[in-house]
Amino acid sequence: MNRFTIYPAIDLMQGKVVRLKEGDPNQQKTYSDEPSSAAARWLDAGAAWLHVVNLDGAFDQPDAANRQALESILAVTGKSDHFVQFGGGLRLIEAVEEVLSAGVQRAVLGTLAVENPGVLPTLIHRWSPDRIAVSLDAREGKVKTHGWKIEAQLSALELAHDLAGQGLRWLIFTDIKRDGKEQGLNIELTRQISEATGLNVIASGGVASEDDIFKARDAGLAGVIVGKALYEGKIDLAKVIHAI
């Protein structure tokens, strides 16, 4: 069984570290102008992985500044045994291949995998199951794509089943209504997806306290992504990593 992992989130918009509420770019708060410094901070606290998101790419906006920020983050993680999973705007196989070749350990697919799940076997065969993840972002159980603007036809659970059948091993599940609001994770649905599919499921959206992290661990999930609660100082990352 994989060790439970805490993934500090670094969400990028125009090259800056931000957090959004419910994925709304109009509800943005900037935490840092230097993504590499944020990366170093979480690594120094004991994180083994970072979860980096290209929000501009997800919203189909110019993302050159975020690509440069990713390079600076990889320069930090590349100096030691640390890893980056990266997603947002990876709509083509070539884009996935590019970031994996650049040093990203795990590419996170969203819209591409939902709209064209047939690409998964190709990418998994090329890079291995541990280097490809899919992020299912849902509101009231219904998956949203294209920066959470378009609703998919299937539920998160139905899509997770389909993706598992394509050879997927890693899945990130985000409850959009809770994201960036520190209202606690949707443990019930996240655990249901994990148990029904056998996937390594990483919980995301709404972590408010250390207790949410322990609930995710105790639910048998593979990990949890933590964003706003870290940047607001409500969770001591070094302390909680030591505790798990």
Nearest to 136 by CA among 168, 106, 111: 111
Among candidate residues 24, 56, 130, 137, the one labeled active-site is 137
For residue 209, with 0-12 CB atoms within 10 Å meaning exposed, 13-18 middle and 19 or more buried, which class applies? Answer: middle
Q: What residue ranges in the chain does DSSP mark as E strands?
A: 5-13, 16-21, 24-32, 49-54, 83-87, 106-109, 132-139, 142-145, 150-155, 170-175, 200-204, 223-226
Q: What CA–CA distance (Å, rounded) separates 33 from 13? A: 10
Among candidate residues 11, 63, 179, 212, the one labeled active-site is 11
Give helix then strand counts, H and E, for the chain. 11, 12
Looking at the DSSP assignment, which residues form a beta bridge with residue 19?
29
Q: What CA–CA distance (Å, rounded) separates 91 from 94? A: 9
Q: What CA–CA distance (Å, rounded) separates 25 from 18? A: 10
Active site residue 130: no
25: phi then psi, degrees, rounded to nearest 5: -65, -15
Positive or negative torsion for Cα 208, 46, 75, 224:
negative
Active site residue 11: yes
Report the catalytic residues: 11, 137
